[in-house]
């Protein structure tokens, strides 16, 4: 069966970027959804693992494929970081079948999309990985998160790790 509620969430992220004149990379969709899942306002019905580039969901990947197959979304272009996506000609189909988002949910989605759009891919990776460390490893202070981030990713500098931890704290206060 089609997971319309999950599709609606993915589509909401793509639509938010699109409304601001931007196409979105799959990698950005993954990170936004993960940050949303730890923010807690929106139910994110996907599991994540900590992978090469931070939190990653194989289920999100599969659902994006499914959405492409019935034109709920479409590929926009191939950029430096892979393929970008925009809403497809059957996007309305998802809205018809999925539960509508509450204003609070819409606000949460928009806020995190806006944040993600302002980050470089590497910055977004680091912030979402910092989010993982806070949520899964129960690390609470910025310094502890930054230090653990450095131990996971040896090429990340102290400054970059600290910035990631601080950005996370600003975006999602503990």
Partner 1 sequence: MAGLQHRVRDGIHSFVEFDNVEKHLIDSQPFQRLRDVHQLAMCYQIYPGATHRRFEHSLGVMEVAGRIFDRVFAPTVLAEDVRDHLGDHLREDAKIYWRRVTRIAALLHDVGHLPFSHAAEDLLAPGWDHERLTAELIRHSEIGQILGRERPPIVPEDVVDLCWSPKSRRKVEAGAIDGLSPFKLILNELITGNTFGADRIDYLLRDSHHAGVAYGRFDPDRLIHGLRLIVAPEDEELALALDIGGIHAAEALLLARYFMYSQVYFHDVRRAYDIHLRDFLKGWLGTRFKDGLFPTDWQQHQRLSDSHVQVAMQEAAFTAGHPLHELARRLLCRCHYRTVYTLVAQHKEANPNILNDVRDFLIGEYGDEAVRMHQYGPKSEVNDFRVVTRDRMSTTSYAVSEVIKNVPAFDIGFVFVEARIASQAERRVRTYLRGSLGEPGGGN
* Residues lying near partner 1 in the complex (CB under 8 A): 1-2, 26-27, 47, 49-53, 58, 61, 64-66, 68-72, 78, 80-83, 90, 93, 121-122, 125, 153, 155
> Which of 29, 108 has the CB closer to partner 1?
29
Which residue do the tokens 């993982």 mark?
132
Beta carbons of 126 and 156 less than 8 angstroms apart: yes
| 38 vs 112: CA distance, rounded Å | 11
CB of 81 to partner 1, least distance (A): 5
Q: Give the three-class secondary structure for 75.
A: strand
- Angle separating helix axes 121-136 and 142-152, nearest 10 degrees: 110
| 7 vs 164: CA distance, rounded Å | 29
CB of 169 to partner 1, least distance (A): 22
> Which of 108, 124 has the CB closer to partner 1?
124
> Which of 13, 108 has the CB closer to partner 1?
13
> Which of 136, 140 has the CB closer to partner 1?
136
Tokens of 109: 């989605």
Query: For the chain, how long is the longest CA-to-CA vector?
Result: 47
Other C-beta atoms lying within 10 Å of the C-beta of residue 41: 16
Q: Which helix (H) or strand (E) holds 85?
A: strand 82-87
CB of 66 to partner 1, least distance (A): 6
CB of 78 to partner 1, least distance (A): 4
> Which of 7, 18 has the CB closer to partner 1?
7
């Amino acid at each position: 069966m089609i997971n319309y509620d999950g599709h609606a969430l993915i589509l909401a992220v793509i639509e938010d970027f699109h409304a601001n004149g931007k196409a979105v990379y799959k990698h950005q969709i993954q990170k936004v959804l993960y940050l949303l899942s730890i923010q807690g306002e929106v139910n994110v019905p996907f599991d994540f693992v900590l992978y090469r580039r931070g939190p990653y969901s194989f289920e999100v990947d599969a659902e994006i494929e499914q959405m492409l197959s019935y034109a709920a979304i479409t590929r926009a272009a191939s950029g430096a970081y892979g393929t970008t996506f925009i809403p497809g000609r059957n996007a309305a189909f998802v809205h018809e079948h999925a539960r509508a988002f509450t204003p609070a949910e819409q606000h949460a989605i928009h806020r995190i999309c806006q944040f993600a759009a302002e980050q470089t891919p590497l910055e977004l990776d680091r912030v979402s990985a910092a989010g993982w460390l806070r949520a899964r490893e129960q690390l609470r202070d910025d310094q502890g998160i930054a230090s653990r981030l450095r131990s996971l990713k040896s090429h990340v500098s102290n400054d970059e790790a600290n910035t990631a931890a601080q950005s996370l704290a600003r975006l999602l206060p503990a």
